[in-house]
Structure 1
Amino acid sequence: MSHEEALEELRKRLEEKYVEFTPGSRRLYERARKVLPGGVTYQIRWLSPYPVFVERGEAQHIWDVDGNRYIDYWMGHGALILGHRHEVVRKVLENAPELGTHLGFENPYAIEYAELLARIVPGVEQVRFTNSGTEANMYAVRLARAYTGRKYIIKFEGGWHGGYDPLHVGVTPPYEGPESLGLIEDCLRYTLVAKYNDLGSVEELMKKFGNDVAAIIVEPVLGAGGAIPAEREFLKGLREIADHYGSLLIFDEVITGLRLSLGGAQEYYGVRADIVVMGKIIGGGVPGAGAFGAREEIMQLLDHLRYPNPRQRSFHGGTFTGNPLTILAGYATVKYLAEHPGVYEKMNSLWDNARRKMDSVCSRYGDVCWSTGAGSIVGIHFTRSRPRSAREAVENRWSKKVYEAFNLYARVNGILYVSEHMAHLLASIKHTWSDAEQFITVLENFLEEAKKIGGLPR
């Protein structure tokens, strides 16, 4: 029996256990299939043989409709850095009825929040709020083109910047062409895809298109691409290349912003971006979370008073932009983080140690897996070597089945993370070393069980 066949047998046994203790989720999935395509509201939340339907959360835990408790390592797609139902956010939601959820006019709360962000995010003098990270990336790219008067955008393999058409390319193998039906090639005409952590591939594109490259957009730590961190010299090199060619450098900090440090990846890596895109944490776990910011020289192109003619400025807007509910929840979250700077050192140290211990476990089983990440962003890869890019994370896999089996193994042992095709953990300040050890123990027990049945490569 091959290791793939052994892993499939293990997966089937785990699936039987999962079905036994999640009958409520199964019933809800059968209902959902009739009214939701694929039975889910977002395909990334689908887990085989059917997703967990979660009823409530508290701190670092969630409970499904069958009453099963899990350690949550997805934390609202990484938005809940303070954990579920943190008191500062809960107070905002409790007081919301007194204000109204959507005022529809300018409000004082957005000013106070923008002032806070301008103080803590390096290089950001002015901010505009959006309704999602996708929107923030869309407006950031438009602004970069408006500022430079150029067309091309360089992004990286595995980089996920939301569903915005011109950036919806180069996310999954073969890293070329539209990532979705309904996208036409013309939408991608001015998008160039480079290799992550490979400055040579960027230089090559710049030699051909550099005089018409508006911006280089990069995730300082790949999210959907495998929780793979940029190397410091790579980001420094991007800064130098952008300066040399007169292009802007955009950091997509939807995941890394307010997570790696209070000042995000710019502070963590010591590299400045021209435009910073934010999401997730910036809304404090309340929907409608996104923002982008830059120095005034760039942001003034959004100013309708300086540029009354709409064709001479870069448009930004939205019905729910700057709504008080999201603004207040986000402000309360970021203010808490700013007033408790020690949480970053504690959280980053915890997960740096956890990654080292994971690597030690993987090493004992013949280097069949590797950890990646930075701070509280963690990835697990069942590859022949530690991946430096999304391409390596996929091409160097020794099995596809092992990812599905491990996700199921974690579920039946009280741990939830996304996805079953790429293991990502996005922890909160509520997670403890005991929680991390539980995950490491589950990983070690899984490897031991896989080894006994011949599920590991020889």
Structure 2
Amino acid sequence: MLNLKDRIQELMAKLESEYASKTRKSADFFKKASRVLPGGTTYQIRFFKPYPIYVTKAKGVLVWDLDGNSYIDFWMGHGAHIMGHSPDFVVKAVNEAALNGTHLGYPNTLEVEYAELLTRVVPNAEMVRFSNSGTEANMYAVRLARAYTGRRYIVKIEGGWHGGYDALHVGVNPPFQGPESLGLPEEHIKYTLVVPYNDLNALEKALSSHDVAAVIMEPVLGSGGCIEPQPDYLRGVRDLTSRYGSLLIFDEVITGFRLALGGGQEYFNIKADVVTLGKIVGGGYPGAGAIVSNAEVMELLNQVKRPNARSRSFHGGTFTGNIVTLTAGYTLVSYLNSNRGVYEQLNSLWDWARRRMNEACETHDRLCWVTGVGSMTGIHFTKSKPVNAREAYQLRISEELYDLMHLYMRINNVLYMTEHMPHLLPSIIHTREHAQKLIDSLDGALSMVTSR
């Protein structure tokens, strides 16, 4: 009888042949792309074995590739498309706005109106500054926290991805220490401390032994596998940061406007000192990010009250407050604000889907576990259910199972990311039928592996 490793290799060979027949044009295009793009893509997580599909069109919950295949998309532009790809009402508003200028370069009225809207829907938000990405928002938020507290150290969570900013580009992947990239000197991360998710003891040890300006974390791990907080964990984080005088920064680039209109703060009823936003805050258009906080913290950015550049914390950027991005974001968030009931439907659907997916895992020799909160869903081929990113890697049964499932899903017209850490970010317009397709596809993949 074949062991698991041999079984996976046998199945991979079969599926790669099917995939090659289905995606011949993407295979040829990958060769072309590899000559001008390192690795054939513009972002390494968009590569998957043996080569990626190349998408030519997206609408609603579907994307189409060069070969004309359509796929149900559970990645939705890295989670940016909470209302699906290219919602007509957002596209219409943006196209009309662009007729009056695509980049004004001066203060505009919409940046004020959108900021007012965000202060109404995001808990604990009194003032806003827009940025060009989640990475930028986190970079400026860290600087702002250091300016406010006069402290040096930042604590982040293992597996937490906060963008490519040097000081936070550590502790994302095993072994969760040292720089995550070539060209990143150790000195750039020497004031960054990394602790596991769902571990209050490790957090308190870091807070009690260093002058910590802020703890930055996702309320629910995103790229770390959509792992949910244990009961009272977030409350414990809030209490510890308050006790030790550190700011709590919620990176809500994924959880913001997804778990609830007010993000993780609203969903878990935990108030952060600073919140960073991205993706959805731009309504699916590029260059989207924001920092929100109370007035006391945000006034450190105020050039009127602090005219000397060295007396304030710097924030800026050519495309901050861009009218196209703000129009898209304002239109989308206004819609969500007027239709708050969609969140109960969205979260209920994916609570049900995760239960059904976990039943499939249980049926098939408990090869996997499904984690998540609301619409955020992770799949883990681990020996037990992981409670943090370290366990999500260390408890793995087989790395090759991740490759196999991703390839099987593609052949069955289902797409998600990433190949080696499945975290799915479906939209509000995904239906029960779309969720059932995912459940059936997972069941099919597991049946293929466990059949004797």
State the TM-score, normalized to the length of structure 2.
0.99
Q: Deviations over 1:245-273 (max 9, x none)?
A: 11100000000000000000000001000
Aligned partner of 1:362 in structure 2 is 361
Aligned partner of 1:332 in structure 2 is 331
Query: Structure 2 vs 1, CA of residues 299 and 348 (structure 1 numbering), >3 Å: closer, same or farther?
Result: same
Q: 1:231 and 1:220 mapped to 2: Cα distance? A: 11
Write out the 4+ residue segments of structure 1 that deviate beyond 6 Å after TM superposition.
none
Aligned partner of 1:173 in structure 2 is 174
How big is the shift at 1:276? 0.2
One-letter amino acid of the structure 2 residue matched with residue 106 of structure 1 = P
Aligned partner of 2:197 in structure 1 is 196
Aligned partner of 1:323 in structure 2 is 322
Aligned partner of 2:31 in structure 1 is 30
One-letter amino acid of the structure 2 residue matched with residue 377 of structure 1 = M
Aligned partner of 2:63 in structure 1 is 62
How big is the shift at 1:92? 2.2
Q: 2:390 and 2:179 mapped to 1: Cα distance? A: 17
Q: Is 1:135–2:117 an aligned residue pair?
A: no
- Say how many residue pairs are matched: 451
Aligned partner of 1:279 in structure 2 is 278
Aligned partner of 2:186 in structure 1 is 185
One-letter amino acid of the structure 2 residue matched with residue 23 of structure 1 = R
Q: 2:98 and 2:180 mapped to 1: Cα distance? A: 41
Q: 1:10 and 1:92 mapped to 2: Cα distance? A: 48
SS across alignment from 2:396? coil
Q: 2:136 and 2:398 mapped to 1: Cα distance? A: 36
Query: Does the CA contact (< 8 Å) of 2:365 and 2:450 recur in 1?
Result: no
Q: Deviations over 1:224-265 (max 9, x none)?
A: 111112224111111111111111000000000000000000
Q: 1:53 and 1:369 mapped to 2: Cα distance? A: 29
How big is the shift at 1:93? 3.1
Q: 1:94 and 1:24 mapped to 2: Cα distance? A: 32
State the TM-score, normalized to the length of structure 1.
0.97
Query: Does the CA contact (< 8 Å) of 1:232 and 1:269 recur in 2?
Result: no
One-letter amino acid of the structure 2 residue matched with residue 68 of structure 1 = N
CA RMSD of aligned residues (A): 0.9
Aligned partner of 1:76 in structure 2 is 77
Structure 2: gaps (5+ residues): none
How big is the shift at 1:207? 2.1
Matches within 5 A, 1:18-417: 18-209=19-210, 212-417=211-416
Q: Deviations over 1:15-58 (max 9, x none)?
A: 11111111111122111111111110100100111111111111
Q: Which range moved further: 199-208 or 401-410?
A: 199-208
Identity between Structure 1 and Structure 2 (%):
55
Query: Does the CA contact (< 8 Å) of 1:384 and 1:396 recur in 2?
Result: yes
Q: 1:21 and 1:149 mapped to 2: Cα distance? A: 58
How big is the shift at 1:360? 0.9
Q: 1:101 and 1:30 mapped to 2: Cα distance? A: 35
SS across alignment from 2:303? coil
Query: Structure 2 vs 1, CA of residues 195 and 97 (structure 1 numbering), >3 Å: closer, same or farther?
Result: closer
Structure 1: gaps (5+ residues): 454-458
Q: 1:260 and 1:180 mapped to 2: Cα distance? A: 31
Q: 1:272 and 1:12 mapped to 2: Cα distance? A: 50
Q: 1:253 and 1:132 mapped to 2: Cα distance? A: 12
One-letter amino acid of the structure 2 residue matched with residue 372 of structure 1 = T
SS across alignment from 1:99? coil
SS across alignment from 1:249? strand
Q: 1:207 and 1:245 mapped to 2: Cα distance? A: 7
SS across alignment from 1:166? helix
Aligned partner of 2:426 in structure 1 is 427
How big is the shift at 1:430? 1.1
Q: 2:89 and 2:275 mapped to 1: Cα distance? A: 26
One-letter amino acid of the structure 1 residue matched with residue 43 of structure 2 = Y
One-letter amino acid of the structure 2 residue matched with residue 7 of structure 1 = I
Query: Does the CA contact (< 8 Å) of 2:97 and 2:327 recur in 1?
Result: no
Q: 1:232 and 1:126 mapped to 2: Cα distance? A: 31
Q: 2:245 and 2:208 mapped to 1: Cα distance? A: 13
Q: Deviations over 1:349-386 (max 9, x none)?
A: 00000001111111111222111011111001111111
One-letter amino acid of the structure 2 residue matched with residue 331 of structure 1 = Y
Q: Deviations over 1:56-81 (max 9, x none)?
A: 11111111111101000010000000
Aligned partner of 1:441 in structure 2 is 440
Q: 2:260 and 2:215 mapped to 1: Cα distance? A: 22
Q: 2:92 and 2:429 mapped to 1: Cα distance? A: 18
One-letter amino acid of the structure 1 residue matched with residue 240 of structure 2 = I
SS across alignment from 2:99? helix
Q: Which range moved further: 8-17 or 127-136?
A: 8-17
Query: Does the CA contact (< 8 Å) of 1:53 and 1:65 recur in 2?
Result: yes
SS across alignment from 2:377? strand
Q: Deviations over 1:291-317 (max 9, x none)?
A: 011000000000001111111100000
Aligned partner of 1:456 in structure 2 is none
One-letter amino acid of the structure 2 residue matched with residue 184 of structure 1 = P
